A and B are shown apart, each in its own frame.
Chain A
Amino acid sequence: MAEALTPHLPALLWGIPLLPMLAAAAIAFLPNARGRIASKLALGALGLSCVLALLAAACTLTPGEDGPFRLSTVVDWFTFGSTRLQVGVLLDPMTAAMIAMVTFVALWIFIYSTGYMADEKRFGRFFGFLSLFCGAMLMVVLANSLLLLFVAWELVGLASYLLIGFYFEKPSAAAAAQKAFITTRVGDMAFFLGMIWLYRQTGTLLFYDGGDGLLESGALASLAGTTTLGGLTVSAAAALLLLVGAMGKSGQVPLHTWLPDAMEGPTPVSALIHAATMVAAGVFLVARVHPIFANGGDVTTALTATAWIGGITALYAALVAVAQYDFKRILAYSTVSQLGFMMVALGTGGVGAAMFHLIAHAFFKALLFLSAGSVIHGCHGEQDIRKMGGLSKPLRRTFLAYSIGMMALAGFPFLFSGFWSKEAILHSAEIWPGGKGPFALAVAAALLTAFYMTRQALLVFFGKPRQPGVEHPHESPSVMLVPLYVLAAGAVLLSIIATPFWPWFEKWLHGEVAHFHGGAFGEHGAIFLLILSLALVTVGVGAGWAVYRRVSNDSGAPDPLSGKLGPLWRFLENAMGFDALYQKAIIGPLARLASLIDALERGLMVPLMAAGETVLKAFGRLTGAGDERGLNAGFDGACSGLKRRAAGASRAQAGRIQPYLRTIGLGVAVLLVLYLWL
């Protein structure tokens, strides 16, 4: 089948992102009242995309001649001067994994949304924005050109802006949307510069172009061979700029502050942002241009920076997640933390581990957010976990789905994809020759992950209900439950393809054939890591159980840890004060600078201009012998005349502009006189 498809692959690949985008464009022209049609259009387009993506992914199962399957296309986009700028699409196992995951996970989020958003009056618009979001994300992963990737990347940003601010009437949602766009744009500008730098250095922005691409040996040698500021190679400098871009989109410290606020969007949007689209884009970018990051060995400047930023982010967000009360906010910080894990993997050379964690995480995080939505839906909009409790009985089905997602995230052993992907990341960090720092940070973060997820599960689903409002929650309809089951199944079953015994996923990315390998644990200290992983989850869950097993029935009671940790707890609760810091260090000063500039404009520039005007007027009086009244009086006189006539609209005005013509004519006259005189 794959052979029969191959000639049509390029067209098919373009279809994958364009179908949802076209659906979005069509929905833009539909009136709001046609919401049902809009949702069908969006689902149909994405469903078709999903089929195409799975077909395309099937083609990549056969490796290429040397290395993985790879198909790249190149088309002209535009020409400036005599330089052609080309773009194209690319299919390799990494892209295949992403398009399959994005279309599949998003499809179930779409289906869930038809139930979750059923009462929304702007139902159709919502599906239009969702379609744009998915289409743009699919373009990001399919692009064979850094420029096309950037274009799609920015469209992802636009779609996230529209969706986070979907409830724009709420000032907090409007502010969160703006914050998301601007914070990520800080990263985007670095990306923009990095991209242009690469283009100036190599003359191409195509990833693969028959040997002339950016990720192929010629360009990489040129990038590594040129040094720039501070002794960095251009490769390293450009990679660091791209990394800043990825940090913005993927919520890495210090550009992470938008992501927790992004929950202002409807819950299905949070699921999309945190799983299939948006935050995955940054990790994917680094994975895609990894040859540039790793241009010069396993421990380059760019890789070291990636690993450390990832490690710091993983631990930071895990610490903060411990002290949050909002159901979705805990999940949001857990996303930041898990993205940090992925960055650790990328920095330490584990591209396969990062990609697998990205995909596994997409399943279980979408599952967790959709379960959260189901809980919130059931509790009539309540999001504070202090007010929940005892929900495992009334929301039995949701609880079941949530538990699978929770165990996958916490890294419960053997059965869950999250366990294997996290293990692979720890393995990658542990054997990295660049130092053990990122490994240590990741280990601490893994421990905390098990702890805070246990806390959340206990407070929400166990004990007794702590608030009258949530005593009688209702279970969600099956249109919302079926997606949960599907994603839960994915979170479990995915683990089959990436265990040390049968590392099919990793081999697929590299274009190799995987063989069953029963003795995998005997090698390279793998048994040590297995024990470590088991210990981490046991200690984390155990500690969580010990602290939160018997929590007070009073919803106003403080968290058991807050008393013990004191000011540290409040520090964590405030997410270590990044927002306040930015307010003080950046936003405030920028506003003051703007006011200062404005004051200078009004107080200095305008008076200066007035002074210049006086000089010119004096000059005009001296030279304008034909206009005794001076320029100004002449204008005003003529103008009031014209205005009277304009008001009366009685006759032509042409004769009245003579004084001005005279002024212009003066210039020409001076010119002629001077010319003849000389």
Chain B
Amino acid sequence: MLLTLILAPLAGAALLAAWRGAGDRAAGRLAAWWSLIPIVLVALLGFRGANAQGLMADWSLDWIPDAGITLSFAVDGTSWLFLLLTALVTAFVLAVSIQKGLTSRSYAALILVMETMLLGVFTARHFIPFFLGWEMTLIPAYLLIRLWGGPNAPRAARRFFIVTLGGGVCMLLGFLALQIGVNTMDFGQLTEMASKGELAAGLATTFAGTGLTGPTLLLTVAVAVLLGLAVKIPIVPFHAWLPDAYAEAPTPVTMLLTGLLSKMGVYGLLRVFLPVFPEVYATLAPWLAALAVATVLLGAVAALAQKDLKRILAYSSVNHLGYCVLAAAAVVASQGDRESASSAISGAFLQAFNHGIIASAMFFGIAILESRSGGLRGLDDFGGLRARVPVLCGLMGLAIFASLGLPGLSGFIGEFLVFNGTFGLLPWAAAVSVLGLLFTAIFLLRLIRKVFHGPLGQLGSNWADLSASERWLFAPVIALIVIPGLWPQVLLQFLNADTLRLLDFLKP
């Protein structure tokens, strides 16, 4: 079933490739309907529940036995949540793309290809399948930005591609060193060895010729891996590719970038980096905390200066994912404080999931503004739209308030748990990062004020409010913002067992 799930979108892409006579509209519809298949499969997995090892499904194949390379995939509760996010956001993006008239066969097929790669990343239990998925998402992402993006898309896409590829190469080199040093790239085995402190020792023996100590070698490896993750999430200062890429990509593709691709980085940080490198926590802790605070603050402050709605939300994404990094920093600094660490980890996963949903909703709102206004999306282009399009304003406002962490909506619980987990361990980092929550409110409320409030200008004076199909598209996303906000357990129940299992490996 897991293999079926991972390959289902790819099969859809193949179908599109084979269906030569398809018109654009038909192709877009096929892809959108097809993308419901992974949702159903993910839901079935969820109903099946986890076995005694905490797995809902697994599949593996010895690919290159001589090198110990297996294509192994498994789904536990945490992976499942990311699969759900992937399936939901992809389907949403394909549906929104139809609204925007982005329906050519190649466009839809590329999105489906990307979905397969993402599903692979979120379930991989070995570095090779993880890395294959990780890098192969780049190709469709690059093409989607390059071909369907704005006027400066080629440059933005190229930079996105090269910088993330560079990060990927660093990560690859890091794991390569582990393969050579300790003879495995299997995440489970690496975690097991790391919890016994064997990684540094293994590297020291193998690379004795370099004259470096085991901890130094392991730290180098960890930094290399972190670099790859840092570009993807992104962590400041490895974020420079992001604003242009988000702004130039067609808005549905921006949803994919922020809703899903950035989550690969968060997922990798929490589920690969944390379990594999506990031996270097002590050295990394202050640096990671500083980078997290820089990410939170820079994202929020830079967003204050933006005039383009998509760039505002791009920096807002940097800020929001910064809280996930902050949580990771807290775990790195946790030294056996299980309650703080479990709060931070739970918060980071919730934040990642909720950000994916909330950002999709906000970008959908922008997509609607763009199509109504003929492509305008400057902060000062609009004004007073609430008088004409109150439903759009209400729904986008709800997403915005969720984004700024209003309790009762989904964003709050993740942020509460992150800060709760961080405060006891890194009090100053938590206290300073709270400024990020404040600045978020400033730039998001200013967005509402400039776009929706004030006197109605020329632009928008003849707009129609949301059509029925637009309302139906908004409905599931809004439900996914409201329900987990009131009832966080609906998401947390999938995380808790894995969180405790993860903590068992993180000995101080």
Interface residues of A (CB under 8 A from B): 28, 77-83, 147, 150-152, 154-155, 158, 161, 165, 168-171, 174-175, 177-178, 181-182, 185-186, 189, 192-193, 196-197, 199-200, 590-591, 593-595, 597-598, 601, 605-606, 608-610, 612-613, 616-617, 631-632, 635-636, 639, 642-643, 645-646, 649-654, 657, 660-661, 663-664, 667-668, 670-672, 674-676, 678
A675 touches B237 (CB 8 A): no
Nearest 4 Cβ contacts at the A-B interface: A81-B342, A174-B453, A652-B17, A594-B304
Contact partner of B106 among A610, A616, A631, A645, CB < 8 A? Answer: A645
A174 touches B488 (CB 8 A): no
Residues of chain A within 8 A of B424, CB atoms compared: 200
B169 touches A667 (CB 8 A): yes
Q: Is B188 an interface residue (CB 8 A)?
A: no
- Beyond A192-B434, A193-B431, A597-B305, 12 additional pairs, beta carbon < 8 A: A77-B489, A78-B492, A79-B492, A80-B342, A177-B449, A181-B441, A590-B301, A593-B301, A597-B298, A635-B161, A646-B104, A667-B169
26 contacts between A and B (CB under 8 A): A80-B342, A80-B343, A80-B417, A80-B496, A81-B338, A81-B500, A154-B412, A155-B407, A158-B401, A161-B445, A171-B453, A175-B449, A178-B449, A192-B419, A192-B434, A196-B419, A196-B423, A200-B420, A606-B240, A608-B240, A610-B159, A613-B159, A617-B162, A643-B147, A668-B128, A676-B67
A78 touches B488 (CB 8 A): yes
B132 touches A664 (CB 8 A): yes
Residues of chain A within 8 A of B500, CB atoms compared: 81-82
B346 touches A80 (CB 8 A): yes
Q: State A54–B508 Cα separation when bound (angstroms).
A: 55
Q: Is B122 an interface residue (CB 8 A)?
A: no
Q: Is B9 an interface residue (CB 8 A)?
A: no
Residues of chain A within 8 A of B408, CB atoms compared: 151, 154-155
Most chain A CB inside 10 Å of its own CB: which residue of B301, B408, B420: B420
Contact partner of A609 among B18, B110, B159, B446, CB < 8 A? Answer: B159
Of the 9-residue stretches B135-143, B212-220, B275-283, which lies at the interface with chain A? B135-143
Interface residues of B (CB under 8 A from A): 17-18, 20, 24, 27, 64, 67, 104-107, 109-110, 128, 131-132, 135-136, 138-139, 142-143, 146-147, 154, 158-159, 161-163, 165-166, 168-169, 172, 176, 179-180, 237, 239-241, 243-244, 298, 301-302, 304-306, 338-343, 345-347, 384, 386-387, 394, 401, 406-408, 412-413, 416-417, 419-420, 423-424, 430-431, 434-435, 437-438, 441-442, 445-446, 448-449, 452-456, 487-489, 492-493, 495-496, 499-500, 503
Q: State A609–B237 Cα separation when bound (angstroms).
A: 10
Q: State A645–B143 Cα separation when bound (angstroms).
A: 13
With A612-B166, A675-B67: A81-B496 Cβ-Cβ less than 8 Å: yes
Contact partner of A671 among B172, B437, B446, B453, CB < 8 A? Answer: B172
- With both beta carbons as reference points, the residue of chain A lying nearest to B440 in the complex is identified as A185
Q: State A161–B446 Cα separation when bound (angstroms).
A: 13
Contact partner of A642 among B143, B161, B179, B342, CB < 8 A? Answer: B143
Q: State A606–B495 Cα separation when bound (angstroms).
A: 38
B302 touches A598 (CB 8 A): yes
- With both beta carbons as reference points, the residue of chain A lying nearest to B450 in the complex is identified as A174
B298 touches A171 (CB 8 A): no
Q: State A124–B430 Cα separation when bound (angstroms).
A: 42
Residues of chain B within 8 A of A672, CB atoms compared: 64, 67
A598 touches B454 (CB 8 A): no
Q: State A165–B244 Cα separation when bound (angstroms).
A: 34
B419 touches A182 (CB 8 A): no
With A642-B147, A652-B18: A196-B420 Cβ-Cβ less than 8 Å: yes
B20 touches A651 (CB 8 A): yes
- With both beta carbons as reference points, the residue of chain B lying nearest to A162 in the complex is identified as B397
With A80-B496, A189-B438: A649-B24 Cβ-Cβ less than 8 Å: yes
Q: Within the complex, what minimum Cβ distance (angstroms) separates B384 from chain A?
A: 6
Residues of chain A within 8 A of B492, CB atoms compared: 78-80
Residues of chain B within 8 A of A77, CB atoms compared: 488-489
- With both beta carbons as reference points, the residue of chain A lying nearest to B437 in the complex is identified as A189
- With both beta carbons as reference points, the residue of chain B lying nearest to A636 in the complex is identified as B154
Q: Within the complex, what minimum Cβ distance (angstroms) separates B296 from chain A?
A: 13
Q: State A398–B472 Cα separation when bound (angstroms).
A: 50
A668 touches B132 (CB 8 A): yes
A169 touches B455 (CB 8 A): yes
- With both beta carbons as reference points, the residue of chain A lying nearest to B413 in the complex is identified as A78
B20 touches A174 (CB 8 A): no
A182 touches B441 (CB 8 A): yes
Q: Within the complex, what minimum Cβ distance (angstroms) separates A212 from chain B?
A: 16
Q: State A161–B448 Cα separation when bound (angstroms).
A: 12
Q: Within the complex, what minimum Cβ distance (angstroms) separates A248 from chain B?
A: 11
Residues of chain B within 8 A of A185, CB atoms compared: 437-438, 441
B147 touches A646 (CB 8 A): yes
Residues of chain B within 8 A of A663, CB atoms compared: 165
Q: Within the complex, what minimum Cβ distance (angstroms) separates A157 from chain B?
A: 8
A649 touches B139 (CB 8 A): no
A169 touches B135 (CB 8 A): no
Q: State A28–B391 Cα separation when bound (angstroms).
A: 10
Q: State A197–B425 Cα separation when bound (angstroms).
A: 11
Q: State A636–B147 Cα separation when bound (angstroms).
A: 10
With A169-B387, A649-B24: A154-B406 Cβ-Cβ less than 8 Å: yes
Residues of chain B within 8 A of A605, CB atoms compared: 237, 239-240
Residues of chain A within 8 A of B455, CB atoms compared: 169, 171
Residues of chain B within 8 A of A654, CB atoms compared: 17
Q: State A651–B106 Cα separation when bound (angstroms).
A: 9
A174 touches B342 (CB 8 A): no
Q: State A453–B301 Cα separation when bound (angstroms).
A: 44
- With both beta carbons as reference points, the residue of chain B lying nearest to A28 in the complex is identified as B394
A181 touches B423 (CB 8 A): no
Q: Within the complex, what minimum Cβ distance (angstroms) separates B140 from chain A?
A: 8
Q: Within the complex, what minimum Cβ distance (angstroms) separates B225 from chain A?
A: 14
B423 touches A200 (CB 8 A): yes
A601 touches B243 (CB 8 A): yes
Q: State A150–B412 Cα separation when bound (angstroms).
A: 11
Residues of chain A within 8 A of B416, CB atoms compared: 147, 196
- With both beta carbons as reference points, the residue of chain B lying nearest to A592 in the complex is identified as B305
